[in-house]
Amino acid sequence: MTPDEYCQEKTQQSSSSFYYSFLFLTDQQRQAMTALYAFCREVDDVVDECSDPCVAAQTLNWWREEVNSIFHGQPNHPVSIALQTAKQQFPLSETHLQALINGMEMDLQKHHYPTFTELETYCYHVASVVGLLTIDILGYHHPQTSDYAHNLGIALQLINILRDVKEDAQRGRIYIPQDELTRFGVSKDRLMASENTPETLQLFQFQAERAQQYYQKAFSALHNDDRYSQKTGIIMAEIYYALLKKIQAQNYPVLAQRVKVSKLKKLWLAWSTARREYKLAQTLK
């Protein structure tokens, strides 16, 4: 199995929305994005699947060395080798890859966040840096596109947090800021229940509105000239926004079930978004 085949298999093991956004990439971009996503899965699995925090921390340190080898030596892991190939084609940042590992390490060190300021830092490390790496693979001309990537990463992570709030709480992780739990009168035990209360509904509505604000901040920073090259990220944003709207439309059933966007809906969003962005690009010529 080649490094790229390994990354492809790693990607296919997940039912992620990444697959649908990859449909409109060039071969080189698809190789790089698949390697990047496989890297995200590898380091995320270290935290989620390792029961010993000390072993997990040691494994993350090994991945730090691997990232260093991508840029300054010869890596050993198939994902690292695939990323080194991608680095030869695109200006990937070692700092961003290391920041992603730091974000995963935060999950070993912290199980709750006192304020949103601290949660935002976490969201930057685990999501925004992925966006920043992605725009380097897709290509852009305007500096503010990095603001788009930063804010979109936070928006998507906040949607993840809302979707997975009960599952995370059952694993002892509370990503909703503690001061907001107190403000709305919601306890950790309440997050592990199966039914909403007026307090949880208000809390979840507040989280959804914040995600929408970051979504809007992201797209206000994306110049029209960069939209078509960034269509892969826009497709991802549309799929996540559809998930957020479904959670809202169903009155935040996140304590009772995991809300999902169907595969058919994701495929339709990918096609319609790519078509929309193509038409917009034609009008700009």
Q: What is the pLDDT of residue 15?
A: 58
Prediction pTM value: 0.95
* % the chain with pLDDT above 90: 85
Specify the residue for token string 């270290």. Answer: 46
Sign, CA torsion 265/5/10/28: negative
Say yes or no to pLDDT of 197 above 70: yes
CB 41 within 8 A of CB 12: no
The pLDDT mean for the chain works out to: 94
* % the chain with pLDDT above 70: 99
CA separation for the pair 245, 239 (Å, rounded): 10
Instruction: Specify the range with the lowest mean pLDDT, choosing from 44-53, 101-110, 208-217.
Output: 44-53
- Mean of the pLDDT values across residues 13-41? 86
Residues of the chain with CATH 1.10.600.10: 110-285
Q: At residue 20, what is the residue type? A: Y
The token duo for 163 is 């979707």
Any alpha helices (H) in 228-262, and if so which ranges?
Answer: 231-249
- Mean of the pLDDT values across residues 273-285? 90
Q: What is the pLDDT of residue 23?
A: 81
Spatial CB neighbours of 222, under 8 Å, sequence gap ≥ 6? 144, 145, 148, 230
Say yes or no to pLDDT of 97 above 90: yes
Specify the residue for token string 């304590």. Answer: 255
pLDDT tens track for 80-92: 999 999 999 999 9
Say yes or no to pLDDT of 13 above 90: no
pLDDT tens track for 206-229: 999 999 999 999 999 999 999 999
Q: At what angle do helices 231-249 and 263-284 cross, to 10 degrees?
A: 130
Domain 110-285 CATH assignment equals 1.10.600.10: yes
Q: What is the pLDDT of residue 37?
A: 94
Task: Return the CA Rg of the chain.
Answer: 19
Q: What is the pLDDT of residue 51?
A: 77
Which of the four pLDDT bands, split at 50, 70 and 90, describes residue 50? confident
Q: What is the pLDDT of residue 1?
A: 85
Contacts 24+ apart (CB under 8 A), 128-131: 128/152, 128/153, 128/154, 128/157, 129/96, 129/97, 129/99, 129/100, 129/103, 129/153, 130/36, 130/40, 130/100, 131/233
CA separation for the pair 187, 180 (Å, rounded): 10
pLDDT tens track for 160-177: 999 999 999 999 999 999
Q: What is the pLDDT of residue 10?
A: 87
Say yes or no to pLDDT of 16 above 90: no
Number of CB atoms found within 10 A of residue 174's CB:
19
What does the chain come to in residues? 285
